[in-house]
Amino acid sequence: MSWFKRENGEYESGATSGAADNSPEAEERRVRTEGLWIKCVGCRAIIWKADLEANLNVCPKCQHHFKIGARRRLDLLLDPGYELMDSGLRSTDPLNFTDIKSYKSRLKKAQEQTGLNDAILSAQGMLGHHAVIACAMEYAFIGGSMGAVVGETIARAIDRARLARKPLVIVAASGGARMMEGVVSLMQLAKIGTALAQLDDAKVPYICVLTDPTTGGITASFAMLGDLNIGEPGALIGFAGPRVIEQTIRQKLPEGFQRSEFLLEKGFLDAVVHRRDIKAYLIRAFDFMQA
């Protein structure tokens, strides 16, 4: 059959055209394949979702590292059988904050979408032959922002690591402090910084893994205070974003500015490690630190 046919003096798509096929069979095919392919933001390649997940959510063509959730992050770092800690903490909305939406409604929506109470998971378990305390941030929960719950969860994890003398790993992924909690959010920076100083005094190792993005108050606090600070390839890491900086100084920023490779070159990171190698890297690092 031809691609087009004349009807009422005008050309329109024929029955063999996919765009005009509205049959139940065609609709079923579209439903079955919906969401099974992902376009890489790095090289624009179309990737079969199952292949991407099997490759640790890293593009097999250009090695672009896609964002992954906190639970997935813990699964990749810790051996099976780890135990979640402090997962029952919830924000109390101390300021009764409302902008376009109420903070309570934003919290409820984020909790429903992620299945978490807030933007972090804390756990204790085994990293190879090391018993460790680990925290992983969830960017899908209000941009991974840090409010009272995130700050308290991290502070408890630090105290737990210090008292048990277990190495600490924190995986950062955040837009910064949570504005809906105001100064309650900002005070978490000082609280966590104090706890990390005590951890350092106790000679307990701490490594921070900075992922895309790590910005704002997170960078200004625990993300840059590790004994080792390592980044994933291509991760955006900084305080203010590059667009804000360009608008402020009215200058064009260098290529790759605030990406992990740029920070490594300038001495702000100790290493940039591919996602598939991070677990082995952490094990070797803790071997050295605890020797």
For the cut 50, the answer to whether the pLDDT of residue 17 exceeds it is no
Residues 179-207: tens digit of each pLDDT = 999 999 999 999 999 999 999 999 999 99
Per-residue model confidence (pLDDT) at position 95: 93
Q: What is the pTM of this model?
A: 0.87
> Do 197 and 162 form a contact (C-beta atoms < 8 A)?
no
Say what the pLDDT of residue 16 is. Answer: 38
pLDDT band at 37 (very low <50, low <70, confident <90, very high): very high
Residue 4 has a pLDDT of 43
Is the pLDDT at 8 greater than 90? The verdict is no
- Is it the case that residue 58 has pLDDT exceeding 70? yes
Identify the three-state secondary structure at position 95.
coil
Give me the residues paired with residue 120 across strands. Answer: 137
Domains of the chain: residue spans and CATH: 68-289 (3.90.226.10)
pLDDT, average across residues 138-144: 97
What's the one-letter identity of residue 210? Answer: L
Q: How many CB atoms lie within 10 A of CB 284?
A: 12
Q: What is the pLDDT of residues 235-267, one digit of tens each?
A: 999 999 889 999 999 999 999 999 999 999 999
Q: 266: which 2 tokens?
A: 């300038």
Whether the pLDDT of residue 14 is over 50: the answer is: no
Give the confidence band of 54 by pLDDT, cuts at 50, 70, 90: very high
For the ranges 3-12, 20-29, 135-144, the maximum mean pLDDT occurs at 135-144
Q: Assess whether pLDDT exceeds 80 at residue 11.
A: no
The predicted structure's pLDDT at residue 35: 77
Q: Which amino acid is at 121?
A: L
For the cut 50, the answer to whether the pLDDT of residue 5 exceeds it is no
Retrieve residue 86's tokens: 């402090």
Tokens (6 digits) for 209: 């893994």
User: Quick one: pLDDT at residue 28?
Assistant: 55
- Which pLDDT value is given to residue 59? 96
> For position 23, what pLDDT does the model report?
62
Q: Please tell me the number of Cα atoms within 13 Å of 32 on its side-chain side.
A: 6
Whats the size of the chain, residue-wise? 291
Q: What is the pLDDT of residue 241?
A: 87
